[in-house]
């Protein structure tokens, strides 16, 4: 605080010194400007790309692994006839990915299925050593 002596009334008058307050505010602004770029912005996602309509499916589509969670909570891999349970899906994924360098899998659930069953499939895939797990939706399958 500063103090002005004298004046019209003849007494002392107290005024606030705002320079230290401005210095503190400038330091806070600089701190927030430095911290802001470090905040996370979201999760990295993977989206399978549909084949163009005028092109046939080739060998690269054979490499895509899709786990389908059915209404009865069983799981299939790439339209296989065999259904897997929570105990048998993990070892099968380990067998599929033991010779592959790229460990990417996509999970597709039925539209009226509860999300907890899709989350279990994602958890099993992570437990099998798969690095990246993507989610498929009906719009993605339609190519929209």
> How do residues 10-33 score in pLDDT, each as one tens digit?
667 777 788 888 999 999 999 988
pLDDT in tens, 34-84: 887 766 666 666 666 666 666 655 444 467 888 888 888 888 888 787 788
Evaluate if pTM is beyond 0.85.
no
C-alpha angle with apex 141: 76 to 112, nearest 5 degrees? 60
Sketch the domain layout of the chain as residue ranges.
Answer: 2-38, 59-142
Per-residue burial over 107-143, b if 16 or more Cβ lie within 10 Å, else e, is: bbbeeeeeeebbebbbebbeebebeebbebeeebeee
Cβ count near 105 (within 10 Å): 24
Q: 59-142, what's its fold? A: Nucleotidyltransferase; domain 5 (3.30.420)
């Amino acid at each position: 605080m500063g103090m002005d002596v004298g004046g019209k009334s003849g007494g002392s008058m107290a005024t606030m010194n705002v320079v230290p307050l401005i210095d503190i505010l400038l330091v806070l602004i600089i701190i927030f400007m430095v911290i802001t770029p470090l905040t996370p912005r979201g999760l990295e996602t993977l989206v399978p790309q549909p084949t163009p309509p005028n092109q046939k499916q080739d060998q690269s589509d054979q490499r895509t692994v899709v786990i389908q969670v059915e209404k009865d909570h069983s799981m299939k891999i790439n339209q296989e006839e065999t259904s897997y349970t929570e105990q048998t899906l993990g070892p099968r994924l380990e067998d599929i990915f033991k010779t592959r360098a790229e460990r990417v899998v996509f999970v597709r659930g039925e539209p009226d299925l509860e999300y907890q069953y899709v989350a279990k499939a994602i958890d099993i895939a992570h437990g099998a050593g798969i690095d990246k797990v993507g989610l498929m939706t009906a719009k993605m399958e339609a190519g929209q």
